Structure formats: C-alpha cells, structure tokens
Amino acid sequence: MVERRVNVGWAEGLHARPASIFVRAATAAGVPVTVAKAGGTPVNAASMLAVLGLGAQGGEELVLASEAEGAEAALDRLAKLVAEGLEELPETV
C-alpha cells in the first residue's frame, strides 16, 4: 500500500469546484485511489459523492492511498494538487 498524507490547500476545503477538480484528477490518474480524513474511513477518490461526503475543510489532513502498480507517481501528482490547491492536475511533479 502506497500512501501520501497531505493538508487541503483550498481555503474553502474539498467542496464543489475543488472536489470536482480532485475527482477528475483521481479518475485520470489511471490507478484506483482512496482518500480519507486522517483516522477516517477511506472512500473512492473518483466518486464525487464520496469525496463531498468527507466534508474536508481547508488545512485538514487527508490520506491518499493505492495498492496499484504505478501508484507512487499518481499519488505524488494528486498530493501536489491537493496541497497547493491547484486548478488542474500537474503534468509532472
């Protein structure tokens, strides 16, 4: 299991537009990824309803995880997106 811990960089948290950006990036990652609040239950990172259901606020710690081959690079890109509150997934890290 590969894991990245990251604080939410979007001031408004992982709601509406930021959640949509994150879900699209998780889907595009090409590997199954889960996301959870630190100590919480992991949910499918490619599910808009599941991600919104986390209720993650700006600055809260999230845990991104995957067991798939190639997960290291995918999780690095997703962690950068979340930490920096980017508007789109970076091509490279």
pLDDT (0 to 100) of residue 64: 98
The backbone torsions φ and ψ at residue 11, rounded to the nearest 5 degrees and listed phi first, read -60, -35
* pLDDT recorded at residue 93: 44
Which residues are within 8 A (CB) of 20 and not within 5 positions of it... i.e. 6 or more apart?
48
Cα–Cα distance, 18 to 25 (Å, whole number): 11
Q: Does pLDDT of 88 surpass 70?
A: no
Q: Name which of 39, 12, 37, 30 is nearest 75 in CA terms.
A: 30
Q: What is the mean pLDDT of the chain?
A: 93
The pTM score is 0.91
Distance of alpha carbon 92 from alpha carbon 42, whole angstroms: 26
- Checking if the pLDDT of 89 tops 90, the result is no
Q: What is the dihedral of CA 10, 16, 21, 24, to 10 degrees?
A: 150
Confirm if 24 and 60 have CB atoms less than 8 A apart: no
CATH number of 2-84: 3.30.1340.10
Active site residues: 15
Residue 57 scores a pLDDT above 50: yes
